[in-house]
Chain A
Amino acid sequence: MIEFSDLEEILVLIQKQYGYDFSGYSRASLLRRINRFMEISDIGTIVHLKNQLVNDPDKFNGFINEIVVNISEFFRDPDFFKSLLNNVFPYLESYPKINIWTAGCSFGEETYSLAILLKEMGLMQKSRIYATDISAKALEKAKKGIFPNNNFKEYSNNYFSCGAKESFNQYFVSDGQKSIINSELKKDILFSRHNLVTDGVFKECQLILCRNVLIYFDEELQNKVLQLFYDSLPVYGFLALGNKETLRFSAVHDKFKIIDKKEKIYQKIK
């Protein structure tokens, strides 16, 4: 077990050795994740942990994958996707070409959910989705698009709750244990590494989804990342945050209009 006081030297170590900057992350969450990593990897002391991180890049990769939280689901918060369909898609239709960025895409559940809706609304042909994450392992899994079947009942319920009318399972081929997403849905998605802390704007996007990522950052880093999103959006572009995340306290707050207060959908107005 490590404590708050041990955290800073670990953060300095990984910044020096691997260039990852976690200094703006929530300490309470980091502490939990690192202690969890130590427990499952059978590392008892901070000295042992530092040794492993310094001497074993593979261990370090495992460490990164464990301390970021990759939990996600298809159509998480169905009301959010419903609002997206009703309030944002009509705008997107008017663009000849639509660029969408899903930042912190985890294993791809959210990105593929969006792709399904775009397809059903006939918008997929003119869309390109850029799905990014800090975790190489998450991206690798996302690209494969293979998901265990045990949660499909819930996913299917979510799918219908957001107002979609076809069938969730039609987008997968299943072997009874796991399901693989149809390649047709994958072809307009580009999965790539992007670290919100250190990497900049890479493309102008009409819609940015970044949900349940900012909660892992402190206020200062949240602000910095929101500025990055602001810079990546054209005027009238949309930004969607997680259910418990908000623009309210940020410096770019008055440059956005609230489209859906509860579902945290905003539009850049200046």
Chain B
Amino acid sequence: MIIIGGSGGSFDLILSILQGLDKEMNMPIVIILHRLKNTKAILEDFLQLHTHYTVKEAEDKEFLKTGYIYTAPSDYHLLLEENFRFSLDTSEEVNFSRPSIDVSFESFSRVLKENCCGIILSGANQDGAIGLQVIGKNGGETIVQDPKEAEFTAMPEAAIAKYKNHSVCALNNIIKKLNYYAK
């Protein structure tokens, strides 16, 4: 499955990625996007307009299924259980973030090992760098948006600084890679 971490400047990128995915693709996708607390859930509605997948917010103890894009709810960390159910968690913020990309990447990688592709997009903090390294070390695929192209470079740069073996890609190549990965 595919897990995407994004922060400031990532929203449009995610839309472009979703639009670029092959129409027969149905590998589950999880999106961890830093978002404001107590705001209305328009993110899912918006994403839905741009994809053949069904988009929904991940619910506690729900099974991860193909054909779905799941978003992490704001103000909760999103974890994966060994039986492929989600768990939500309100423990302390990590990297000033809840949901934290690090937390989800580590948790998903622990269960999925090599069967997991992690992506870090634009963002103005360091969240996700440790998590993406964990995915890489566990044999998963790891992709970082090329900082030259990112609106905020801190997040991709932190991921690259932490671990050398990530693929660093421009947006169109991220899309190509994902279409290939899902085959």
Contact = CB atoms under 8 A, between A and B. Distances in A.
Given A69-B90, A78-B38, A215-B88, A28 B76 contact: no
Contacts of B59: 244, 246
Contacts of B61: 218-219, 222, 249
A27 interface: yes
Interface stretch (B13-21, B42-50, B77-85, B145-153): B77-85
A244 B76 contact: yes
A9 interface: no
Contacts of A28: 79-82, 87, 89, 107, 110-111
Contacts of A215: 60, 76, 87-90
Contacts of B82: 4, 27-28
B91 A31 contact: no
A69 B110 contact: no
A78 B37 CA distance: 11
Nearest to B80: A28
A3 interface: yes
B121 interface: no
Nearest to A69: B91
Contacts of B107: 28, 32
B91 to A, nearest CB: 4
A156 interface: no
B91 A244 contact: no
Given A27-B81, A78-B38, A244-B59, A3 B110 contact: yes
A23 interface: no
A4 B60 CA distance: 19
A29 B89 CA distance: 7
A244 B73 contact: yes
B40 to A, nearest CB: 11
Contacts of A69: 89-91
Given A28-B107, A222-B61, A244-B59, A71 B80 contact: no
Interface in B72-107: 73, 76, 79-82, 87-92, 103, 106-107
A32 B106 CA distance: 9
B87 to A, nearest CB: 4
B60 A245 contact: yes
Nearest to B62: A249
A33 interface: yes
A23 to B, nearest CB: 14
A81 B117 CA distance: 40
Nearest to B75: A243
A26 B90 contact: no
Nearest to A154: B37
Contacts of A171: none
Nearest to B107: A28
A79 B38 CA distance: 9
A26 B82 CA distance: 10
A32 B88 contact: no
Interface of B: 38, 59-61, 73, 76, 79-82, 87-92, 103, 106-107, 110-111
5 contacts: A28-B89, A32-B79, A32-B107, A33-B91, A246-B60
Given A79-B38, A244-B59, 18 more contacts: A4-B110, A26-B81, A27-B81, A28-B81, A28-B107, A28-B110, A29-B87, A32-B79, A32-B91, A33-B91, A71-B92, A212-B90, A215-B60, A215-B89, A218-B81, A244-B60, A244-B76, A246-B60
